[in-house]
Amino acid sequence: MTTNAMTTNVREAALRPFGKPSRLWWLAITVLGAMVVGGIAAWVVQLRDGMGVAGYSDQAFWAIYIADVITFIGVSYGGAVVSAILRLTGATWRAPLVRMAEGTAVITVLVGTALILPHLGRPDRVWELLTQPNLSAPVFWDLVAVSTYTVASILFFTLPLVPDMAILGQEHGQQLGHRRATLYAFVSRGWTGAPRQRAVLAGALGLVSIMIIPLAVSVHSVLSWAFALVSGPWWHESIWAPYFVVAALYSGVALVILVVAGFRRGYHLEGLITERHFVRLGFLLATLSATYLYLTFADILPGAYVGEPSIAAVFTELLTGHLAVYFWVFIVAAGVLPLLLVALPWTRNVWGMVVASALVAPAMWVKRMLMVVDPSTYNNISGTFSSYHFTWVAITITLAAVAAVPLLLMLLFRVVPLLSIDEIEEMEEASTDYPPAEPSQSAGRDANAVGATGTSHRAAGTLGVLMLIALLGMFGVGTADPAQAATPQSASVVTPRSASVSTATGAPTITIKGVEGGGKVQLTATLTGANGQPQADAPVAFSFSTTQFGTPARLVPLGSITTDASGVAKLILGGDADHMYLPTTVGPQEFAATFTPTAADAKPITSSVTVNITVARSAYNPAPPKPLAGVGKGLVVALFAIVTAIWLTMAAQVWRVRRVTHGVQKPTTSSA
Amino acid sequence: MRTEEQPAGPPPGNEPDKRQAFTRRKILATLGVTAAGGALAMVNYRDDAQAATTSRTATAITEAKAAKHAWCMVIDLRVCDGCKLCTLSCQQRHQLPEEQTWIKVYSMEHEGQTFPMPVPCMMCEDPPCMYVCPVGSTFRTDEGLVLVDQDTCIGSRACMAACPYEARYFNWKEPPPVKKMPLPPTPQMPVPQQKGTVGKCVYCADRLPNGELPACVSGCPMGVIYIGDLVTDVAVNGLGETVVLSEFLHKNDAVRYKEELGTNPRCYYIAGHGQSLGAGA
């Protein structure tokens, strides 16, 4: 077998999806399309009737849609791992898989992002995330991380299309059809495959593949922080960010296996994608499965061991309660069985890996449901659980998202080549490890590529590390800036104003005087008995009057003082522990002294005085600022700087590739 | 002191004063923002009370420091008999559906005994709900009331996840029709509510500036619930019992619910199980 034959084989295979679609293809498109339309219709119903129709309630306020969002954005990481990680580790066997993996990454992240809409109560206001974002909210950073990652994955998908589209457009133009040919000519304009162009493209791809790994890490971390940054049991876990990242990798690899298996069967790519590919992906799957199981154990053990009531309740519900059946199904379907299927030699084949992946993908959705619903249905006060019930609306919308992925992939690969032709051919030429191809031709390509990747490696690596560090402490603890004291005045003017109210002759009388001196208010009440003599040993109740809670004014008791031998009761505001009140506002304040005679028919007698308060202080003592207050603001600035740098770097890669093709545009145009 | 003159006034953004009116939201509404640089300058980082309602000018900060009120509640569990009239009064006033209990009476257990415990919004000074709101619809007034602007709420329910006190309720369907209201809904008096947005206890923020008591306070026949002001050091319950707030809290060993979470709630509990009524003796 010659390299030439293999090349023809690859190109022929890549062109297969562009032929006349089979009846099965149309059937699949129709069914999947109907599911998507059904989901949109269900969403319209939900928009009309409210989110209650999706099974939500105040006791299950987060449920299926947020689990869907996590699941779909999660599986998108599969593209990054198969493509970027394998690219960086130089695993050449990845070549026939990368295009499908990257396409899956793009499609699933778009579908996952779209699923945020049914999650929102008012999707019509979603633009407010851009026009009035709250920078301390994890959801805002979800938006930043997801959009950055989406652009990066689109870039990662699009850049390698340039040489492929050049090859197909220039050498197989007649098989493309008019519209594809026009598109391919536009995308690959100026591409000649010159060593310099190859070096630049490899450099750009190397940089993007380095960037996409921390970007994906950031996406899944920030998604987890939508949960971990609240105090709810099981959500408030430091392990959740890495837990989400591994979950994303795990489910992502499973989906790549399924997608690759689907297209392999549909377009008969068995010659290019062999059992070896599946087994290698299966090993990845098994590694991630074991890691995820380990993290699951590490996640649950500390809370269950310490047994704080709320966390213990949530884990009891999960492990032995109403949710236990789902949890243990997850353990079997996403833990035990995949590991067995990979471990046992007689299932370590295409079917075994496909079955394992078909178990993992939905089981990981179940796991996300558990992680959302268990704490969401827990009442933080009563410690009881309610439940979430699936409705047809919720299920229809979720199934629509499930259908949208293969649907969009099938449509996508009607437009762009299913296989990374250039890369496969390059691998075949350069590698001895890969199936029976002989090394030949252009040895310079790889050398160039490695060099370019190396230079960009450091910059991007530093960038990624910086971003991770910054993301880790993303949200500072804020402090309220509470009300402060009214400004105290230093002058202490004594201004007793009015003094006494006398009652009918023969009845006891009371008079009150109030002075402010040395910053203290002293109230003096003099009680005269019915006999005209000072009344001793009688309780006088002091109070002040407030209109804060409406008129007529209310009297606020300041405490009782017993009169002395001369009939005098003195109260110094704030004078002792039983009389803590101090004036809170400057200006006239009315105080009163009341005496209630012991005789059954006697009425209380009251005297009031207005004191012009000059020294006042707010009774309110704000809490001390939190130790980490203020970190948040610096972090926001740093994060914006990092995000800007990432976007500029990505734009620069497009510009680089455009420029290097632009330089040779003329000869290409003339040849094409 | 401009905003003080109308503490219950229109929702933020409708302030009549020109400088106050020139807030972030207004700017955005007028100009629209596309440039990332522009957005950076105008977005709000929720690290303090003013960020919610006013632009963070020096004036605004001075105002907040001199806030005339710091509203709070005191709930005296010694006299609560669990009749739930607080819930009913609130639901009537805000015309809420039955399942929305902005103040909810939980049946709590302690050492084998059960006792009723009304739970309104805690009006945290560090409100977790406010920090996580992606669009800043939850804000805190400089008088310490945590309110929701249902005109901008996108219904992400992040606040419901963040609230440790289960104080938030979502409008899962079209709210039941309400009696005609004299004024359009405001964050202070969000009636009628909007489908797909979050509602919560507001301490009857529209009543407080007028010296009126919140519905639950005036509706409680036992005088369990006090509305208070930490600045002027006064609190009053529905029976007209008025107390010096700091003294009342101090002498009765008042506590705040879930103090350990660091949310600095502005709702105090006086521990008890209705024993003043002879319960559980």
Q: Is the dihedral of CA B96, B100, B106, B107 positive or negative?
A: positive
pLDDT exceeds cutoff 90 at A114:
yes
* Cis preceding linkage at A133, omega within 30: no
Spatial distance between the Cα atoms of A341 and A295, rounded to a whole number of angstroms: 21
Under an 8 A CB cutoff, do B242 and A555 touch? Answer: yes
Reported residue count of chain A is 672
Mean pLDDT of chain A: 84
Q: Which residues contact A47 (CB under 8 A, 6 or more apart)?
A: A123
ipTM > 0.85 for the complex: no
Q: B201 vs A167, A504, B119, CA distance in Å? A: 65, 50, 10
Under an 8 A CB cutoff, do B39 and A133 touch? Answer: yes
Contact B70, B229 (CB under 8 A): yes
pLDDT of residue A640: 93
Q: Which of A417, A415, A413 is nearest to A14 (CA)?
A: A417
pLDDT of residue B65: 54
Residue A212 vs residue B58, higher pLDDT: A212
Q: Is the dihedral of CA A248, A251, A254, A259 positive or negative?
A: negative
Spatial distance between the Cα atoms of B85 and B100, rounded to a whole number of angstroms: 14
pLDDT exceeds cutoff 50 at A593:
yes
- Count the neighbouring beta carbons within 10 Å of the beta carbon of residue A659: 11
Q: Which of A552, A132, A96, A529 is nearest to A280 (CA)?
A: A96
Reported residue count of chain B is 281
What ranges do the domains of chain B cover?
3-67, 71-125+203-277
Contact B185, B191 (CB under 8 A): yes
Using DSSP's 3-state secondary structure scheme, residue B59 falls into: helix
pLDDT digits (tens, 9 = 90+) for A158-196: 999 999 999 888 888 788 888 888 999 888 888 888 889
pLDDT of residue A466: 45
Using DSSP's 3-state secondary structure scheme, residue A568 falls into: strand
Spatial distance between the Cα atoms of A251 and A73, rounded to a whole number of angstroms: 10
pLDDT exceeds cutoff 60 at A555:
yes
- The single-letter DSSP state of residue A522 is E
pLDDT of residue A8: 61
Joined together, the tokens standing for residue B2 give 């401009």
In terms of CA atoms, which chain A residue is nearest residue B25? A132
Q: Which of B14, B1, B4, B6 is nearest to B185 (CA)?
A: B14
In terms of CA atoms, which chain B residue is nearest residue A576? B247
- Count the neighbouring beta carbons within 10 Å of the beta carbon of residue B31: 10
Chain A residues whose CB is inside 8 A of the B33 CB are 130-131
In terms of CA atoms, which chain A residue is nearest residue B61? A481
Contact A36, A43 (CB under 8 A): no
Distance to chain B for A227, nearest Cα, Å: 8
Residue B55 vs residue A32, higher pLDDT: A32
Chain A residues whose CB is inside 8 A of the B195 CB are 50, 121
Q: Which of A559, A189, A157 is nearest to B250 (CA)?
A: A559
Give helix A421-430 / helix A161-171 axis angle, nearest 10°.
100
pLDDT above 70 covers a percentage of chain A that reads: 86
pLDDT exceeds cutoff 50 at A335:
yes
Lowest mean pLDDT among A241-250, A314-323, A334-343, A500-509: A500-509
Joined together, the tokens standing for residue A98 give 């990368």
Under an 8 A CB cutoff, do B45 and A636 touch? Answer: yes
Question: First and final CA of chain A: distance in angstroms?
Answer: 31
Helices (H), A320-349: 324-331, 337-343
Under an 8 A CB cutoff, do A475 and B210 touch? Answer: no
Spatial distance between the Cα atoms of A607 and B50, rounded to a whole number of angstroms: 43
Chain B residues whose CB is inside 8 A of the A131 CB are 28, 32-33, 39
Most B CBs within 10 A among A122, A130, A586, hence the mutation to make, goes to: A122
Q: Which residues contact A531 (CB under 8 A, 6 or more apart)?
A: none
Under an 8 A CB cutoff, do B136 and A477 touch? Answer: no
Chain B residues whose CB is inside 8 A of the A623 CB are 125-126, 264
pLDDT in tens, chain B (281 residues): 343 444 443 444 443 333 333 444 444 443 333 333 334 434 455 544 434 343 333 333 344 456 889 999 999 999 999 999 999 999 999 999 999 999 999 999 888 888 999 999 999 999 999 999 999 999 999 999 999 999 999 999 999 999 999 999 999 999 988 888 888 999 999 999 999 999 999 999 999 999 999 999 999 999 999 999 999 999 999 999 999 999 999 999 999 999 999 899 999 999 887 777 766 54
**A20 pLDDT band (50/70/90 cuts)?**
confident
Joined together, the tokens standing for residue A601 give 């028919």
Distance to chain A for B118, nearest Cα, Å: 11
Q: Which of A328, A304, A321 is nearest to A387 (CA)?
A: A321
Mean pLDDT over A276-304 rounds to 94
Q: Which of B157, B151, B212, B139 is nearest to B185 (CA)?
A: B151
Residue with tokens 């059954």: A600
Most A CBs within 10 A among B30, B140, B232, hence the mutation to make, goes to: B232
- Count the neighbouring beta carbons within 10 Å of the beta carbon of residue A105: 32
Side-by-side strand order, sheet with B267-270: B242-244, B234-237, B225-229, B71-76, B267-270, B255-256
B237 forms beta bridges with B226
A 463-502 near B (Cβ less than 8 A): 475-484, 486-487
Under an 8 A CB cutoff, do B211 and A547 touch? Answer: yes
Q: Could you tell me the domains of chain A?
A: 3-472+635-671 (1.20.1630.10), 500-613 (2.60.40.10)
pLDDT of residue A92: 83
Contact A464, A213 (CB under 8 A): yes
Give helix A392-415 / helix A23-49 axis angle, nearest 10°.
140
Of A50, A56, A58, the CB nearest to B174: A50
Spatial distance between the Cα atoms of B11 and B24, rounded to a whole number of angstroms: 14
- The single-letter DSSP state of residue B4 is G
Contact A330, A366 (CB under 8 A): yes
In terms of CA atoms, which chain A residue is nearest residue B44? A134
Lowest mean pLDDT among A383-397, A618-632, B52-66, B121-135: B52-66
* Three-state secondary structure readout of A554-565: EEEEEEEEECCC
Amino acid at A182: T
pLDDT digits (tens, 9 = 90+) for A219-229: 999 999 999 99
DSSP one-letter string for A579-636: B-----SSEEEEEEEEE--SSTTPPPEEEEEEEEE-----S--PPPPPTTTTHHHHHH
Q: B76 vs A161, A588, B256, CA distance in Å? A: 70, 32, 12
Spatial distance between the Cα atoms of B250 and B232, rounded to a whole number of angstroms: 16
Most confident of A132-141, A543-552, B32-41: A132-141
CATH architecture of the domain with residue range B71-125+203-277:
2-Layer Sandwich (3.30)
Determine contact: B61 vs chain A, CB below 8 A.
Answer: yes
Chain B residues whose CB is inside 8 A of the A230 CB are 128, 132, 158, 161-162
A 627-656 near B (Cβ less than 8 A): 629-630, 632-633, 636, 640, 644
Rounded to 5 degrees, φ, ψ at A99 are -60, -45
Of A56, A556, A626, the CB nearest to B242: A556
Under an 8 A CB cutoff, do B196 and A51 touch? Answer: yes
Tell me the CB-side half-sphere exposure of residue A652, using CA atoms within 13 A: 12
Using DSSP's 3-state secondary structure scheme, residue A570 falls into: strand
**A431 pLDDT band (50/70/90 cuts)?**
low
